[in-house]
Structure 1
Amino acid sequence: MTRTALVTGGTRGIGAAICVELQAAGHTVIANHAGNEEAARAFNAETGIATACWDVGDYESCVRGLAEAEALAGAPFDILVNNAGITRDSMFHKMTPQQWNDVIRVDLSSMFNMTHPVIEGMRERGFGRIINISSINGQKGQMGQVNYSAAKAGVIGFTKALAQETARKGITVNCIAPGYINTDMVAAVPANVLQSIIGAIPVNRLGEASEVGALVAYLASDAAGFMTGSVLTINGGQYMA
Structure 2
Amino acid sequence: MATENQQDAVMSAETAVAVKPDYGNEIISIIRGNFSPRAMQTMLTDYHGSDIADIMEQLSQPERKKLCRVCGAEMLAEIFEHLEESAAGEYLREMDLPKAAAVIADLETDTAANVLHEIDRERRTLLIEMLPDALRKEIRMIASFDEDEIGSKMTTNCIIIRENLSVKQAMSELVRQAEENDNISTLFVVDESGAYYGAIDLKELITARNSVPLESLISTSFPYVYAHEAIDDCIEKLKD
- TM-score for both structures, normalised by structure 2: 0.28
Q: Give the greater-gyration-radius structure (CA).
A: 2
Comparing both structures, which one devotes a greater share of its residues to strand? Answer: 1
Comparing both structures, which one devotes a greater share of its residues to helix? Answer: 2
